[in-house]
Amino acid sequence: MSAGEVVASFVVPVHPHTVLAPEQNAGWQRLRDAFDEAAQTIRELEADLIIVYSTTWPSIIGHQIQADPNPEWVMVDHDFHDLGSIPYSFNIDAEFAHAWDEANQNRGLQSRCVNYKGFPIDVGSVVALTLLNPDNKIPAVIVSSNMYANRSETTVLAKACLDVVKAQGRRAVAVTAMSLSNRMFTDFIEPENDKIHSLKDDEWNRKILEFLEQGRLEDVGQLSRTIHRQIRVQKVVAFKPMWWLSAMNGNRNDLTGRIMAYEAIHGAGGAVVSLDPTPSGAGDKEYDEDDVEYFHGERGVLDTIDEVEDDGGSPPQEGSKPTKQGPDLWEPTEAEGSVNTTTAPKPVGAYPHARRVGDMLFLSGVGPRQPGTNAIPGGPIHDNEGVPLEYDIRAQTHAVVENVRRIVEEAGARMDQIVDVTTFLVDMKRDFAGYNEVWAETLGKVGPTRTTLAIDALPTPIAVEMKVIVHMAD
Amino acid sequence: MAKGQIVAGCIAPHPPHLVYAENPPQNEPVAEGGWEQLRWGYERLRASLADIDYDAIVLLSPHWQTYVGTHFLGLPHFEGLSVDPIFPNLFRYHYDMNVDVELAKAIHDEAEAAGLPVKMMENPDFRVDYGTITTGHLFNPDWDKPLVVISSNRSTAYYSVEVMQEMMIELGRVTRKAIEASGKKVVVLASNSLSHRHFTTESEVPEDMSKEHITSHAMHLWDMRMIEYMRTGQAQRILDEMPEFTEQAIAESDGGGLSWLLSTLDVPTYPATLHGYGTIIGTGNAVVEWPCHAHEVSEA
């Protein structure tokens, strides 16, 4: 099986005009032609999965993923019902959907699959899949746009998706069904009179497209909040799709972009944009936002306080259940030079999170448990009776690195000042490869020396722990 | 022909949880109850109107969201399966409803004459939104009265609450005018929550009422303030405070239903009856009736 990858990305418009009435307006026809060309490109790339993030499918309870293998119905747009109806019968990759759902939960996201006869597939998804995959040969998956999701959550959603793309060795195409400026005319217009609603919207759209043509997807992602304020009707679904698409492409600014069409649809900015992962754009990214691996935001709001083991400062994580397995938790000790933080899990004995001596910082062994809930991302390695459980070593390793980062930063140090790491694995044969992969993506880029040891057990039902030494002098 | 009349005006919520909890035969999922305070509120509302004769229900639903004008269902009959895209685990309802197209067209025409962008929805494949169905079911489970269904124009999102309210007050005025000209007796119904901040998680058992409460104290205060205005006949104050309420309580009044309702009732100065209040996944919801028949019958 080859390594999974995103072989192409597309931005496509959401309104039904390109399906139902392209002949009524030359601009709509150009968008339709671009759709058709994009469909041809996807076929030539021999893609085996189309992933649609749709802004016209809002959700409240986390993200929803379509998992009906063959959803069929007739879609009629709430506004443009007079254009006609779009019957659909899609080929959904339910196995991928369930795997993505599980990956989401491993990364702390609220997520669920939906598989119900008659579920109303949203207009953006219907348009995208009808035109990009007209013969339904390529399986697809659709994800909702959560009303309350911020950049962190949306980024983690993409990373979870990539986990599955890689694990399954897929050749995936990522699609965002979205408008650029989304202000439509609020009155009825004749098709021939369609144009971008305002000069200001048009200018912003062209600036976005200029960036995308230069392959600067991450720059558009970082400007998304500004774009939303400037040219978006302030609905609940903000200009989030670029966060997802950028994360699906490794938050890069050096993609190969191409504007295939840009036209008005009832005043809104509609564009078909191709983003090829081949490097050719502006170059190094300037990633000045948190590169979040796990979602730690507002979730679990229905839980009462007494269900949480302590009030360590973070809300409980969904998807990695709080565990009471293992020894009692202790308050960290406070000897001279101790460094402790409520953002790291509590010790399982009388010791601090770290201790500073001169310009050296020595961390106690750090595992993946989460502060507050004691939850283990990726799941515990066994249950209360000691029965082995399936777990995700990559998720656990990511969580260890995140906990290390919190302690290091609490001490006023930086991750790139880590000089030596000793890692303990409870199952070297099973876990070394996954652990090593995450290492390469994280601490491996910092460059500390490393020793990896196999041990019999750790005090809590975890698979990996790190002992870290930091040299704080610049 | 006798002058038509609005016999009652109501605000009533539409989260699908309420239909789910009722276990009607039309809905596929099965619940163990839940949200009784609001469902009993709907019961009291139905009982209050049981002896009132009326011909049709005019309903504005914030889940038929239109950005280009205000739309009206324009065919006499709709049936099909409605699946809530947000809570499909709770709401998969087989609906079968009749529309008073004549009255819908009359309101449409009055609105058009007043300069509002309007359109009749005449596509037979159209799926009626779950807000309409939820409120329609709970208000009239027998579905034996025809409906006029009005979409929610998203002018709050496009412009401001003030612009929305100006449009909805005008829509309410022409709605009343068309009803009076029709000679029909009508209930006007705003399908609407009050404060509208949701929880973003769901209990393992969705109807687990030990998890249900308002999302914040501020939301509760706003809901009670609005309800107190309703109960004391101060509808004008609701309209006056609508921008602050809508913004600070993230209220579903952004869809225009409440402003439209109060306008159709000519901004009532008599008290409304609170039949029930409760929260649904953290949002504030009330079942409220303005008993117009008791206050306006002499004018008819």
pLDDT, residue A104, reads 94
Nearest to B123 among A85, A146, A266 (CB): A85
Residue A309 has pLDDT above 80, yes or no: no
**Is A190's Cβ below 8 Å from some Cβ in B?**
no
| B281 at A interface, C-beta within 8 A | yes
* Number of domains observed in the structure of chain A: 2
Q: Quick one: A336 and A224 in the same domain?
A: no
Cβ of B68 within 8 Å of Cβ of A114? The answer is no
3-state secondary structure of A166: helix
| Per-window interface: A 170-189 vs B, CB < 8 A | 183-188
Residue of higher predicted confidence among A228 and B25: B25
pLDDT band at A315 (very low <50, low <70, confident <90, very high): very low
Chain A residue numbers with beta carbons less than 8 Å from the beta carbon of B154 are 233, 235
* Distance between B85 CA and the closest CA of chain A, angstroms: 6
Share of chain A above pLDDT 90, in %: 68
Q: Inspect the interface and report whether the beta carbons of A61 and B157 lie closer than 8 Å.
A: no
Determine the residue type at A386: G
Q: Measuring CA to CA, how many Å separate B140 from each of A158, A226, B183?
A: 44, 46, 22
Residue to mutate among B158, B199, B201, B211, with most A CBs inside 10 A, is: B201
Instruction: Show which of A276, A293, A322 is a domain's final residue.
Output: A276
Judgement on whether residues A145 and A197 belong to the same structural domain of the protein: yes
Contacts of B128 in chain A (CB under 8 A): none
Q: Same domain for A240 and A322?
A: no
Q: Which of A193-197, A346-350, A418-422, B296-300 has the lowest mean pLDDT?
A: B296-300
Q: Reply yes or no on whether the pLDDT at B284 is more than 50.
A: yes
The reply to whether A343 and A247 lie within a common domain is no
Which of the listed CATH numbers 3.20.20.140, 3.40.830.10, 3.40.50.720, 1.10.150.120 matches domain B5-299?
Answer: 3.40.830.10
State the pLDDT confidence band at A321, using cuts at 50, 70 and 90: very low
Which of B66, B67, B246 is most worth mutating to test chain A (most A CB atoms within 10 A of its CB)? B67
**Residue A228 counted as domain residue:** yes
C-beta atoms of B68 and A119 within 8 A: no
Residue A320 has pLDDT above 50, yes or no: no
Minimum-distance CB partner of B201 among A58, A119, A299? A299
Q: Is the pTM of this model over 0.95?
A: no
- Residue A411 distance to chain B (closest CA, Å): 34
Tell me how close the Cα of B81 comes to any Cα of chain A, in angstroms: 7
Nearest chain A alpha carbon to B160: A234
Chain A residues touching B67 at Cβ < 8 A: 79, 184, 186, 233
Of A258, A276, A294, the one marking the end of a domain is A276
Phi-psi category of residue A169: left, alpha or beta, with phi > 0 → left and psi -120 to 50 → alpha:
left
Residues A264 and A332 in one domain: no
**Is B47 near chain A, with CB under 8 Å?**
no
Note whether residue A454 is domain-resident. yes
> Three-class SS of residue B9?
strand
The answer, yes or no, to whether residue B271 has pLDDT greater than 70, is yes
Say yes or no: A233 contacts chain B, CB-CB below 8 A: yes
Whether pLDDT at A179 is above 60: yes
> For residue A446, what are the contacts with CB-CB under 8 A and spacing of at least 6?
A415, A416, A418
| Res. A300: pLDDT tops 60 | no
Give ipTM to 2 decimals: 0.92
Read off the pLDDT of residues B206-218 as tens digits, 9 standing for 90 and up. 999 999 999 999 9
Q: pLDDT digit string (tens) for A414-440?
A: 999 999 999 999 999 999 999 999 999
Chain B residues inside the 8 Å CB shell of A300: 201
The residue extents of the domains of chain B are 5-299
Shared domain for A134 and A212, answered yes or no, is yes
The C-alpha of B102 sits at a distance from chain A's nearest C-alpha, in angstroms, of 19
Residue A285 per-residue DSSP state: -
A231 and A148 both lie in a single domain: yes
Q: How confident is the model at residue A224 (pLDDT cuts 50, 70, 90)?
A: confident
Give contacts of A302 with chain B, Cβ < 8 Å: 199, 201-203, 211
Looking at the structure, do residues A336 and A208 belong to the same domain, yes or no? no
Return the H-helix or E-strand segment holding B130: helix B130-139
Give the integer Cα–Cα distance in Å for A415 and A428.
25
A205 and chain B: CB distance < 8 Å anywhere? no
Instruction: State whether A77 and A156 are in the same domain.
Output: yes
Q: Does A58 touch chain B (CB under 8 A)?
A: yes
Q: Would A332 be classed as within a structural domain? A: yes
Residues in chain B: 300
Verify that A228 and A358 share a domain, yes or no.
no
Question: Is A298 inside any structural domain?
Answer: no
Q: For A192, which DSSP code?
A: G
Of A114, A183, A266, the CB nearest to B88: A114
- Which pLDDT band, with edges at 50, 70 and 90, does A78 fall under? very high
Q: Is the pLDDT of residue A313 over 80?
A: no
DSSP letter string, A105-149: HHTT--EEEE--TT----HHHHHHHHHHSTT--S-EEEEEEETT-
B127 chain-A contacts, CB cut-off 8 A:
76, 120
CA nearest neighbour of B245 among B189, B129, B161, B126: B161
- By the 8 A CB rule, do A64 and A112 touch? yes
Residue B242 has pLDDT above 50, yes or no: yes
**Do B191 and B59 form a contact (C-beta atoms < 8 A)?**
yes
- Give the residue numbers spanning the domain of A394: 311-471
Q: Residues A49-65, buried b or exposed e (16+ Cβ, 10 A)?
A: bbbbbbbbbbbbbbbbb
Q: Is residue A261 part of a domain?
A: yes
Q: How many A/B residue pairs have CB atoms within 8 Å? A: 112
For residue A445, tell me if it sits in a domain. Answer: yes
A245 and A322, same domain (yes or no)? no
Any domain includes A294: no
Q: Do A82 and B83 touch (CB under 8 A)?
A: no
> Residue A425 belongs to a domain with what CATH number?
3.30.1330.40
Tell me, yes or no, whether A262 and A360 share the same domain: no
Residue A436, pLDDT score: 95
Q: What is the structure's pLDDT at A229?
A: 82
B98 and B76 Cβ atoms separated by less than 8 Å: yes
CATH of the domain at A167: 3.40.830.10
Is A451 part of a structural domain of the chain? yes
**A307 at the B interface (CB within 8 A)?**
no
- Mean pLDDT of the region A198-227: 93
> Is A432 exposed, middle or buried, given 0-12, 13-18 or 19+ CB atoms closer than 10 A?
middle
Between strands B185-191 and B5-12, the pairing is: parallel
Tell me which residue in B83, B153, B154 faces A120 most closely, judged by beta carbons.
Answer: B83
Name the least confident of A84-98, A213-227, B18-32: A213-227
Query: B243 burial class (0-12, 13-18, 19+ CB within 10 angstroms)?
Result: middle
Q: Which chain B positions have a beta carbon within 8 Å of A60's beta carbon?
A: 86, 198, 200, 281
Where are the strands (E) in A266-316, listed by range?
A: 268-276
Widest pairwise Cα distance in chain A: 77
Does residue A155 carry a pLDDT above 90? Answer: yes
